[in-house]
Chain A
Amino acid sequence: GENVEQHPSTLSVQEGDSAVIKCTYSDSASNYFPWYKQELGKGPQLIIDIRSNVGEKKDQRIAVTLNKTAKHFSLHITETQPEDSAVYFCAASRGLTGGGNKLTFGTGTQLKVEL
């Protein structure tokens, strides 16, 4: 089955700095890579995702890059703000047509944005 590794487990940055979280996956058939943000006391919420037919996707201060050859993908948050403090999870899936959208999650990164 799929195995997703995520690093670092904790990340502390100063407000305004950039944060990068990295994930690797093992299943070459995976083609969908979402990132979820979990705020304290809440369930995870999708913040951005990327499919294997593109190498980069951006949404305001958040971007995700994908390297299919190396089987790794990364989340980039620029101009970090205190409200970015949360746990972030990467995940991989074969998508809707391959395995029915089962997600395999990484182990999570606790991001702390300090003032």
Chain B
Amino acid sequence: DADVTQTPRNRITKTGKRIMLECSQTKGHDRMYWYRQDPGLGLRLIYYSFDVKDINKGEISDGYSVSRQAQAKFSLSLESAIPNQTALYFCATSAHWTGTNEQFFGPGTRLTVL
């Protein structure tokens, strides 16, 4: 969905490096999410935010941190990347006022940690 963009789309880095993945949305949604996708494991929630300054841990938050700088931006950081953080990362958004639960996903960032 072009309304949710992620940068970079691909990233190769080395163990121990700090990495930031960025997500921007033009949908005007208040809620944003970060997931990681691994083969055979589906999508797992890392962090989510219901509004600016609101941050909540998901099921696999260890080794990650996030920042919600503005309603439209939600960044995911890997403080010290390790190889098992190699995965496909997705940002998603939703709006509580629509009355639906639909989440809109970005195109993903493929991260490789060597």
Chain A residues with a Cβ under 8 A of chain B:
1, 6, 9, 32, 34, 36, 41-46, 49, 89, 93, 95-96, 100-108
Contact = CB atoms under 8 A, between A and B. Distances in A.
Nearest to B110: A41
Contact of B103 (A9, A42, A103): A103
25 contacts: A6-B42, A34-B102, A36-B105, A41-B108, A42-B107, A43-B92, A44-B43, A44-B90, A45-B105, A46-B102, A89-B43, A95-B101, A96-B96, A96-B101, A100-B31, A100-B50, A101-B31, A101-B101, A101-B103, A102-B45, A102-B58, A103-B101, A105-B44, A107-B41, A108-B42
Interface string B37-63: 000111111001010000010110000
Contacts of A34: 101-102
A43 B43 CA distance: 11
A101 B43 contact: no
Interface residues of B, number: 28
Given A101-B31, A101-B96, A43 B107 contact: yes
Contact of A103 (B45, B56, B100): B45
Contacts of B94: 101
A45 B108 CA distance: 12
Contacts of B105: 36, 43-45
A27 to B, nearest CB: 13
Interface string B83-114: 00000001010101001111101111000000
B101 A32 contact: yes
B101 A43 contact: no
B17 to A, nearest CB: 25
B40 A9 contact: yes
Given A43-B92, A89-B42, 8 more contacts: A41-B108, A43-B107, A96-B101, A101-B94, A101-B101, A103-B45, A103-B103, A105-B35
Contacts of A43: 1, 4, 90, 92, 105-108
Interface string B59-72: 10000000000000
B101 A105 contact: no
